[in-house]
Amino acid sequence: MGQVSKSVQGQASGKGRNTELWVGIFVLASLVAGGAVLFIIGNQANLFTPKTEFEAAFKDADGLRAGSPIRIAGVDVGTVTEVHLEDDGSTRIIFSIVRGADRLVREGSTAIIGSKGMLGDKQIDLSVGEGPALEAGSRVRTEQPPGLTDYVKTAGDLIDSAQRTLASVEKATAAFGDDSFSTDVKAMAANMAKLTNMATNEGSALGRLMTDQAMGADLKRGTAGMAQASVELSKTLREVQSMTAQARKGPGLLHALLYGEGGEEVVQHLGAATGELAATLRQVREGNGGLHQLIYSEEAGQLVTDLAALSASLRTVGEGLENGEGSLGAMLADPSLYEDMKALVGNLERNRVLKALVRYSIRNGDSE
């Protein structure tokens, strides 16, 4: 009996341990399931909120999957619901946006694939457009983000540019290693030292130029004169340009000569007149006419002397008349003599006997 009771007690204790094991497994499974549910609900906080679906097409999905978040201005507003591979190799993404935020998906909005956190998870970043809101099911414009290949290519371009820059710097600095360049630099430094000494020495021309106020004033006046001359030259050039424009556009004699219909004829006449004048001058110089005798003969000097004497005599007579000398001078200078002659002529006009005598003399002269 004692052995039977011990066996029964051992079986009862074994059943108790099995029950505790199953209870522990159930509790652990419940905790795992509850954690999973909490994770899903936390990851999809808007699980029961109404949503609006849109779509977008990318050449490369770059790791997007169903459940990847959709963000606008850094705020989660939806998730990726479907990812489809198209026949042309592109990827069509269908995503949903919660109601209220879907009004920000407008014409001009852009979808671009971005990274979420440090682990490299992908998300879609949406920009807010400026046009009207898109209807449900509309396709949003996309921009393909630069991938690793683009970064590698950019890095290669930067390396090539850096190599070219280093080659240019090496080429530009190669002259510094030349001994002649060093010698030239030393000579330049010596010359600069000499110039500095001359500038500080008041007895030198450069020193006087830098310290002498009178010389500075003269230099200033000379510069002002050059500036004024430049202004006058500019005015002259403008006047020449104005005259040229006037000659080109007209009116005027120069425009008529250069551009008028009769300009060629006038030039021909001027040429002919010039030729005739040249022939006349040649005839005067080489011929035997009076003008040649007057200019080139021996009597020409005497004629010039006589003309000078005649001019002096006329000048003397003119001065005498102006001073009232002689009868004619008195007539010109004495107003009383003029009045007397005027009265005499008036008396003659009023004398009837004299008028009759004059008429008789005229008639007898005509009959003879």
Q: Is the pLDDT of residue 97 over 60?
A: yes
Contact indicator for 103, 158 with CB cutoff of 8 Å: no
Both tokens assigned to 115: 């990274």
Q: Is the pLDDT of residue 366 over 60?
A: no
Q: Is the pLDDT of residue 54 over 90?
A: yes
What is d(CA 1, CA 20) in angstroms, rounded to the nearest whole number? 29
Q: Is the pLDDT of residue 276 over 70?
A: yes
Mean pLDDT throughout 75-100? 89
Query: How far, rounded to the nearest angstrom, does the alpha carbon of residue 323 sit from its chain's CA centroid?
Result: 77
Q: Is the pLDDT of residue 202 over 80?
A: no
CA-wise closest residue to 54 among 115, 6, 3, 102: 102
- Match 């998906």 to its residue by tokens: 105
Q: Is the pLDDT of residue 12 over 60?
A: no
Type of residue found at 18:
N
Q: Which residue has the higher pLDDT, 171 or 69?
A: 69
Mean pLDDT throughout 270-275? 78
Indicate the pLDDT class of residue 351, thresholds 50, 70 and 90. low
What is d(CA 139, CA 211) in angstroms, rounded to the nearest whole number? 81
Answer whether CATH 2.40.30 is correct for domain 49-145.
Answer: yes
Indicate the pLDDT class of residue 1, thresholds 50, 70 and 90. very low
What is d(CA 270, CA 364) in angstroms, rounded to the nearest whole number? 61
Q: Is the pLDDT of residue 77 over 80?
A: yes
Domain spans of the chain, in order of start: 1-43, 49-145, 299-331, 334-367
What is d(CA 242, CA 313) in angstroms, rounded to the nearest whole number? 52
Q: What is the mean pLDDT of the chain?
A: 75
Q: Which residues pair with 92 in a beta bridge?
A: 57, 84
What is d(CA 368, CA 357) in angstroms, rounded to the nearest whole number? 17
Mean pLDDT throughout 24-36? 80
pLDDT reported for residue 281: 76
